[in-house]
C-alpha cells in the first residue's frame, strides 16, 4: 500500500479531508509518514537545518539556556526540553559546550519530545550517553511538572495547518478530495462562517493559515512556565506579520516539489505565523520577547566572536567552512537563514532572555 492510496481510501469513505489531516498523514503516519520512513536531514537528504550546518548553533543555544538558568537562581531540577530534535545534533553541541559551566549539568535533566520512533532511536544513539538524565516523550503533556527551559528549532513549520480562503467575499476551507479520474486534488468546502480581526482584514483571495496543534503546544508550555518558572525559545522560518498567503510547500532533495506527488517521501511544511504565536503567549499572560530575526539573535549572542575563536586553530579549509556556515546562519540573502528565520521567546517572572 502507498500513502497516496491510503489517503484516497479515507476520502472515499469520509469525503474530502482538511489540509491538516493530510499533513498529519504525510508527515507522521506511524509506518509510511515522512519522519518515520525517510532520513530528511543533511546534504543527501531533503533539507539542512541550522544545527546541521554548524556546531556554533547548538553552542549559542546552550549559552542562552545556561544564562536563563542563572537568572532562575541556578535552580536545582530544571528540565531542558527540546521539541522535535531531529538527529539530536543541537543537544549534542549544547551538552558538549555547557559541560564546564559550574553546577549546570548537575542541576538539569534533558527531555526530548519526539513523535517519530525512528528519530527517537537515532537520538538515543547519538546523545544517549552524554548526560545521566535524558528521557524521551511523545508530547508536551506528559513532561514532568517542573521548571522548564524549552527549545524548538524547526518544529512549528512541521505541524499540520488548516487553510481558509476568501473568494467573492466568502470563506471556504481548502480541502483534499479526489477528482473525476480518481486522482487526489485540492477542493473547497462549502461556505463557512469565520470571525475575528484577522478575517476582517483579509484581502480577496487571501489565505488564512491556522495551526491548531501549534496553538495547543503554546498553551501547554505557557501554563507550565507560569506554574513552575522557565522560558521558551522558538526558532523557525516564518513571518512577523500575517501574510494572507498559501505557504504550504513540499521539498525533496533540496528542490521544491508538487505536494501531491510522492506523498510520504517529501517534506511538507508551512511558514510559521509569529504574529499568532506572539498573540497566543501575550493573551496567556507571559512576557514575550521578539519576534526578531535569527541573524540579529545569533549576532547578539556572540556567534561572530565564537566563529573567530574557532578560526584561530583551524586549517585554511576549516576557516572557509566556518565562515560559510556563519554566513548561512546569519546572512540576509534569500538563500541564507539570517532574515528568513525568526526567533521568539516567552518567559515568566524577571527572566530576560539574551538576543532580543
Q: Which spans of this chain sit near ligand SAH (rule: CB under 6 A)? A: 35, 49, 51-52, 83-86, 90, 113-116, 119, 153-155, 158-159
For residue 317, the minimal CB distance to ligand SAH (Å) is: 24
Residue 236's closest CA among 277, 283, 201? Answer: 277
Q: For ligand SAH, which is the closer residue by CB, 65 or 115?
A: 115
C-beta of residue 171 within 8 angstroms of C-beta of residue 66: no
For residue 63, the minimal CB distance to ligand SAH (Å) is: 17
For residue 8, the minimal CB distance to ligand SAH (Å) is: 24
Q: For ligand SAH, which is the closer residue by CB, 148 or 165?
A: 148
- C-alpha span between 194 and 170 (Å, rounded): 9
For residue 47, the minimal CB distance to ligand SAH (Å) is: 8
Position closest to ligand SAH via CB: 84
Q: For ligand SAH, which is the closer residue by CB, 24 or 107?
A: 24
What does the DSSP 8-state code read for residue 222?
H
For residue 110, the minimal CB distance to ligand SAH (Å) is: 14
Residue 295's closest CA among 264, 330, 245? Answer: 330
For residue 49, the minimal CB distance to ligand SAH (Å) is: 3
Residue 79's closest CA among 93, 90, 69, 87? Answer: 69
For residue 242, the minimal CB distance to ligand SAH (Å) is: 22
Q: For ligand SAH, which is the closer residue by CB, 85 or 290?
A: 85
Q: For ligand SAH, which is the closer residue by CB, 158 or 250?
A: 158
Residue 248's closest CA among 171, 159, 326, 184? Answer: 159
Report the half-sphere exposure of 218 (CA within 13 A, side-chain side): 27
> Quick one: CA dihedral 290, 294, 298, 299, positive or negative?
negative
For residue 200, the minimal CB distance to ligand SAH (Å) is: 31
Q: For ligand SAH, which is the closer residue by CB, 198 or 218?
A: 218
C-beta of residue 149 within 8 angstroms of C-beta of residue 65: yes
C-beta of residue 68 within 8 angstroms of C-beta of residue 347: yes
Q: For ligand SAH, which is the closer residue by CB, 113 or 343?
A: 113
Give Cα 93 to chain centroid, integer Å.
18
- C-alpha span between 184 and 261 (Å, rounded): 9
- C-alpha span between 280 and 288 (Å, rounded): 10
How many degrees, rounded to 5, is the angle at CA 318 between CA 315 and CA 322?
135
Q: For ligand SAH, which is the closer residue by CB, 119 or 202?
A: 119
Amino acid at each position: 500500500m502507498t500513502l497516496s492510496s491510503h489517503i484516497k481510501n479515507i476520502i472515499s469513505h469520509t469525503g474530502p479531508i482538511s489540509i491538516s489531516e493530510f499533513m498529519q498523514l504525510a508527515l507522521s503516519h506511524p509506518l509510511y509518514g515522512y519522519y518515520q520512513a525517510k532520513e530528511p536531514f543533511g546534504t543527501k537528504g531533503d533539507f539542512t537545518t541550522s544545527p546541521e550546518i554548524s556546531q556554533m548553533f547548538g553552542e549559542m543555544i546552550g549559552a542562552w539556556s545556561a544564562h536563563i538558568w542563572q537568572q532562575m537562581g541556578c535552580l536545582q531540577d530544571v528540565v531542558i526540553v527540546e521539541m522535535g530534535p531531529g538527529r539530536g545534533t543541537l543537544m549534542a553541541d549544547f551538552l558538549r559546550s555547557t559541560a564546564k559551566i559550574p553546577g549546570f549539568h548537575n542541576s538539569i535533566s534533558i527531555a526530548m519530545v519526539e513523535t517519530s520512533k525512528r528519530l527517537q532511536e537515532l537520538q538515543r544513539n547519538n546523545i544517549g550517553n552524554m548526560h545521566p538524565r535524558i528521557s524521551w516523550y511523545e508530547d508536551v503533556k506528559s513532561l514532568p511538572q517542573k521548571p522548564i527551559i524549552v527549545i524548538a528549532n524547526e518544529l512549528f513549520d512541521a505541524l499540520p495547518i488548516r487553510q481558509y480562503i476568501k473568494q467573492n467575499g466568502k470563506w471556504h476551507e481548502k480541502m483534499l478530495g479526489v477528482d473525476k479520474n480518481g486522482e487526489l486534488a485540492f477542493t473547497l468546502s462549502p461556505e463557512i462562517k469565520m470571525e475575528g480581526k484577522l478575517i476582517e482584514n483579509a484581502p480577496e483571495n487571501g489565505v488564512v493559515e491556522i495551526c491548531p496543534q501549534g496553538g495547543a503546544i503554546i498553551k501547554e508550555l505557557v501554563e507550565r512556565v507560569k506554574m513552575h518558572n522557565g522560558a521558551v525559545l522558538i526558532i523557525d522560518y516564518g513571518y512577523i506579520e500575517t501574510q494572507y498567503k498559501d505557504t504550504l510547500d513540499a521539498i525533496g532533495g533540496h528542490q521544491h516539489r508538487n505536494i501531491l506527488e510522492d506523498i510520504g517521501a517529501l517534506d511538507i511544511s508551512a511558514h510559521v505565523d509569529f504574529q499568532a504565536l506572539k498573540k497566543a503567549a501575550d493573551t496567556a499572560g507571559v512576557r514575550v520577547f521578539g519576534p526578531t530575526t535569527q541573524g540579529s539573535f545569533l549576532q547578539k549572542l556572540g556567534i561572530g566572536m565564537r566563529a573567530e575563536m574557532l578560526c584561530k586553530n583551524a586549517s585554511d579549509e576549516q576557516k572557509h567552512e566556518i565562515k560559510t556556515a556563519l554566513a548561512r546562519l546569519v546572512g540576509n540573502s534569500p538563500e541564507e537563514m539570517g532574515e528568513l528565520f525568526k526567533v521568539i521567546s516567552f518567559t515568566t517572572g524577571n527572566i530576560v532572555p539574551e538576543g532580543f
